[in-house]
Structure 1
């Protein structure tokens, strides 16, 4: 074989070896990138482009906590949508899967009707985020004639025979209807909305006029006005209420981390009161919630630990 042919053959061999080595390197690099991507996906199984939809009711504490969770979850990389609904529609949406989460279910009394109706089709969490809630009829402190629900009929004319209510379909409104029947009250429960009810209470207090309405704690209004709960000898409203959350049935399978966050969530009177105050006094609820989250990161870290 001539020298130039030997050189050519050797060159071809070296070229083939170089190409194979390059291909092998590319495959290893591609495999490494794929493995890294897979590992990252596995460590963030909850986070995706799907929206987590959280139902919101126009109650002060509900607006506060829904915006708080929107801030917390979006900082974790989730997309969160708040949908304003009434309680009945919210339960139906959880049942159908059109809604992911409801953050406020009062048990054992106020929302017992929803638990009974949807316990097989909606996941009601055993975990609670507030353990010292109270519900009842309230009047201003200056209404000295009335201290108990049993006193109301005797002073019916003082209140024009009206109990000023809020959202129709709310569990507390239904319990109040039962209370009117149990106590044989000669009163009519007037549905409206929470903001409208609070406005009427504020106007009545400003004019030192009598008014009676169903209310609950935690609520900012008790720091604004001197109000008292009426005694409830028949215990129709129940004693201490606990606030739970509820999700569609397969939510925990798709979002196991978020499901654990909600189960870890706990607040006391001071914390929820401060959060409500931040949200109420901000230009936008989300801004107040974001400021509160920034100032309470240690508490939130207890809820969202991986």
Structure 2
């Protein structure tokens, strides 16, 4: 996991160009949430530093991905820059229904989060990427701790995703083991890949991993909202989540009071837009090249003033 610390003064100093500070509606801090994966911290920091360029006071608050909605509903937290359609839809819809949280539009990134395996595993399990092949090859994916069950390395428990429920609903001969952190997840992938050791794990995109490693996502039965909400729908008539994960936009959401208290900031947040390719490159600079989030965001802002300056006009 990339450690996040506030560094606004250093970042602003690093920018090669300055933007005239606009008169803002309130100097109370806008609280942007940060989580436990590098891309989200980068996304949030770009937005926060752009808002600072416009004269707003910004505070970064570490928060749990799903539990943050409690703070967004009360206004104790203000903006979440990445809610993934793949894992956050249910929590997002529940929060919208209260009237206290609003959708600020897509981030420009499209989310994929699913089980993934390295291409070399197809030699041991030729039925891949069909999910049903996993049961036939469970022993090939097992570890001494899980044998004879296969081992699936999931993301941190706080990410959601219903992997435990999926394994049970599809009667898969697999045990779900959750990585403690984002960094631990990809460190284990790197280790396994170098040794061509058996592994199937949670991979998400945008991320550098899908470009660095040769592999494929498992093809589960297609996702539908009914599959998640109605046990009678899908292969198992007695269980929900008997299908793959959804795909779709990564959304920005906010406490409904943001538009009233900081309307200019709300417009800027709605305007934020970045692509999967750009974000994957930025994450790779931090995770693979060892650059700091501060340096990566500063370089991006210096090179892209023509883009982000339009967000705060």
Equivalent position of 1:203 in the other structure: 191
**TM-score, length-scaled by structure 1:** 0.78
2:167 aligns to what?
180
Mark the structure with the bigger radius of gyration: 1
Alpha carbons of 1:71 and 1:183: their partners in 2 closer, same or farther (altered >3 Å)? same
- Counterpart of 2:214 in structure 1 is 226
Which residue in 1 is equivalent to 2:101? 123
Structure 1 residue 218, shift from structure 2 partner: 0.5
2:240 matched residue in structure 1: none
d(CA) in 1 for partners of 2:104, 2:76:
22
Q: Report the secondary structure of 1:214's partner residue.
A: strand
Is the CA contact 1:55–1:85 (under 8 Å) kept in the aligned structure 2?
yes
Determine which of 52, 63, 74 is the counterpart of 2:41.
Answer: 63
User: In the TM superposition, what is the alpha-carbon distance from 1:132 to its structure 2 partner?
Assistant: 2.8
Given that 1:141 and 1:226 are in contact with CA atoms closer than 8 Å, whether structure 2 keeps it comes out as yes
| CA drift at 1:121 | 4.7
Q: Which runs of 4+ in 1 moved over 4 A?
A: none
Per the TM alignment, residue 259 of structure 1 is displaced from its structure 2 partner at its CA by: 0.8
Aligned to 2:277: 270
Aligned to 1:292: 300
Contact 1:137–1:214 (CA<8 Å) still a contact in 2? yes
Alpha-carbon distance between aligned partners in 2 of 1:61 and 1:122, rounded to the nearest angstrom: 26
Do the aligned residues in 2 keep the contact of 1:278 with 1:292 (CA within 8 Å)? no
CA contact (8 A) 1:138 1:213 kept: yes
1:73 paired residue number: 51
1:46 maps to 2:25: yes
Cα distance in 1 for partners of 2:100, 2:182 equals: 26
1:167 corresponds to: 156
Structure (1/2) with the larger helix percentage: 1
Specify the alignment match of 1:112 in structure 2.
Answer: 89
For the residues of structure 1 that align with 2:293 and 2:219, how far apart are their CA atoms?
A: 34
Q: Is residue 103 of structure 1 aligned with residue 111 of structure 2?
A: no
> Aligned pair count?
260
Please, which runs of 5 or more residues in structure 2 have no aligned partner? 1-20, 143-149, 224-242
Alpha-carbon distance change, 238 to 254 in structure 1, aligned in 2, over 3 angstroms: same
